[in-house]
Amino acid sequence: MSPAAERIAGFEPIAAPDASVLILGSLPSQQSLQKHEYYGNPQNVFWRVMGELFGAGPDIPYAHRAEKLKRFRIAVWDVLHSSIRPGSMDAAIDLQSATPNDFQMFYDEHPMLEMLCFNGKKAAELYERLVAPQGICTIDKIEFRTLPSTSPAYASMKLEEKIRHWSAVRLPCSNNRRA
């Protein structure tokens, strides 16, 4: 098996037990895997958006960004635990090899979730295809939202417009921020 066809695995979630919003990507990019950071590609605007909304921008160390999100009750994870994917493009994910993360465990450990946000259509499609059929979301009244991808592959939308769409993640956590 060539290195381009090896199975890659994602990261543990960034999450505190009282998380109210879960942001889901698909699977970390090659740059993210090398840095061992969610959204490690500097062309991905995720951390710029989080900087505008929560002060968790790329200008501060990764560990501090993660802690800021936790204080605002924001969790970050990926739909997939692992898959074969040559390169970093979501379109290259081999669906036959795709294994979702353990959402039953996550939902059991985070009963205060109010909103699940997908970072782009591919994450939503993967969740719908691999997770939803399991019928495991037992949290009442959870809102599902598909937001514009922060990926550099989706550059047709201006940053300001992405921030406007992404401001929806502030709704459940705005009154519940921990000091």
The residue from 41, 44, 101, 119 that is catalytic is 44
User: What's the rounded Cα separation, in Å, for the pair 33 and 40?
Assistant: 8
User: What's the rounded Cα separation, in Å, for the pair 9 and 3?
Assistant: 14
User: What's the rounded Cα separation, in Å, for the pair 178 and 128?
Assistant: 32
Annotated active-site residue 41? The verdict is no
Q: Which two tokens stand for residue 176?
A: 């519940």
Contact 148, 120 (CB under 8 A): yes
Which residues belong to the active site? Answer: 44
